[in-house]
Amino acid sequence: VQLQACGGGLVQAGGCLRLSCAASGHSFKSYSVGWFRQAPGKERTFVAYITSSGGAAYYADSVKGRFTISRDNAKNTAYLQMTSLKPEDTAVYYCAAQTNPNYYKTTYGYWGQGTLVTVSS
């Protein structure tokens, strides 16, 4: 499966953005989707994942209650709705896919190219 993330941009603190992860190829609905982010000079970290059916999701503590992950299998697209953004949310956001939902980035075999989110104070 090939992934393409988009929707990043510059937003003020307290604002919102919705990221999209469009998939092409086979059987998107068979894959769980994760979002990860990488701030400048830091490691890539887990943000959220959603199971293949969309029936369950899991979030990093740092975004819980502010971010919502969802997917539309009919459109082969996953989303990350981000609200109450903080400057510390500034990072390149990546979507990734694999068959077993979890928060370990090393287990994800398919990655999008990343989209930059910048939150100004």
From first to last of its 121 residues, the chain has per-residue pLDDT tens of 999 999 999 999 999 999 999 999 778 999 999 999 999 999 999 999 999 999 999 999 999 999 999 999 999 999 999 999 999 999 999 999 999 888 898 889 999 999 999 999 9
State the burial class of residue 82 (Cβ atoms within 10 Å of its Cβ: 0-12, 13-18, 19+): buried
pLDDT of residue 65: 97
Question: What are residue 49's DSSP bridge partners?
Answer: 34, 58
* Sign of the CA dihedral running 17, 22, 27, 33: negative
Per-residue confidence (pLDDT) for residue 50, from 0 to 100: 97
